Structure 1
């Protein structure tokens, strides 16, 4: 299997792990996530808490499945290719649903905030679509890499580089709102 695919799977795993953990860490966090869904026009008010719970469980399922796939790919186990392919397809499907929801919310200018990783400070916008697009691209490239490579154990040195590189990629995506805020010029108070 390919180190690139392993690194991308690690990026996806870390991103979904952070997202799931931000919702599972407490009842208050889960409730806050549910409330962030309320402005979305496609989530009926009576189903907000169920939709939040379903989203959280789907993310947790992706974390478990991708974690297994990462281990299988790194170890060169024989079921690595089908397991990784199925988990990446499920991850891509979930991301496609999230992306469609974000696109609809942005298009309708709902004012909904992104509570993907806990804090819901920034309204959903183009940067969230870009982030999801990058995650979808990671899924596609990882699948192509897995399909093209033969199943064999990966070298420890390559794994030791691919996994942390994937984690760094995830960190950038998770903190994208903060990075954009940090590097976006702000108007100076008192200027016209």
Structure 2
């Protein structure tokens, strides 16, 4: 079970790291996407806070599983609440979650963030102090699985589009 924690750490470090780096690379576009969601005078502060939170999670997870996974879980809960509020209010905004050109916010973003929160929670639950040593092959396999999962979740918008009914053109 401790390998699930390792896989969770690899996945969440990758996802949060990718999100933070892509937002920094396209910071002007990211700020612009927030203008539809946040009052104008708070856009800069919110953009910086999101990048800081995501960077902090990406850095904390490999250092301390408990602290990092709890931070990820907290950030993901805040993201889910924010998206939920926007959806209830009927705000139509694009998600620049992983850089410019994101899909409009919708239920699929709640699903993705819910999956990520579940992964963080499962990593926390399985982070039981065991007397056994982790085997290198198991760690490498868990990290690889986490990286594959991260790639799938970063591409979630595109994958969801493949399986969702298309609208008339």
Q: Structure 1 segments of 4 or more deviating over 4 A?
A: none
- TM-score, structure 1 as length reference: 0.82
- 1:137 corresponds to: 118
Structure 2 CA distance for aligned equivalents of residues 152 and 163 of structure 1: 19
Specify every segment of 5 or more residues in structure 2 that has no aligned partner in the other structure, as ranges. Answer: none
- 1:95 corresponds to: 76
Instruction: For residue 139 of structure 1, report the CA deviation from its aligned partner.
Output: 1.1
Structure 2 CA distance for aligned equivalents of residues 149 and 110 of structure 1: 45
Structure 2 CA distance for aligned equivalents of residues 60 and 149 of structure 1: 27
- C-alpha spacing 1:123/1:187, structure 2 compared with 1 (3 Å): closer
- 1:24 corresponds to: 24
Q: Does the 8 A contact of 1:36 with 1:120 survive in 2?
A: no
Is 1:62 matched up with 2:57?
yes
- C-alpha spacing 1:122/1:143, structure 2 compared with 1 (3 Å): same
- TM-score, structure 2 as length reference: 0.92
Is 1:113 matched up with 2:94?
yes
CA RMSD between the two structures = 1.7
Tell me the number of residue pairs that the alignment of Structure 1 and Structure 2 aligns. 169
Query: Could you say what secondary structure the match of 1:31 adopts?
Result: helix
Q: Write out per-residue CA displacement over residues 90-130 of structure 1, whole angstroms, 9 at most, x where no aligned residue.
A: 11111111111111111112101110001334110000000
Instruction: For residue 182 of structure 1, report the CA deviation from its aligned partner.
Output: 2.4
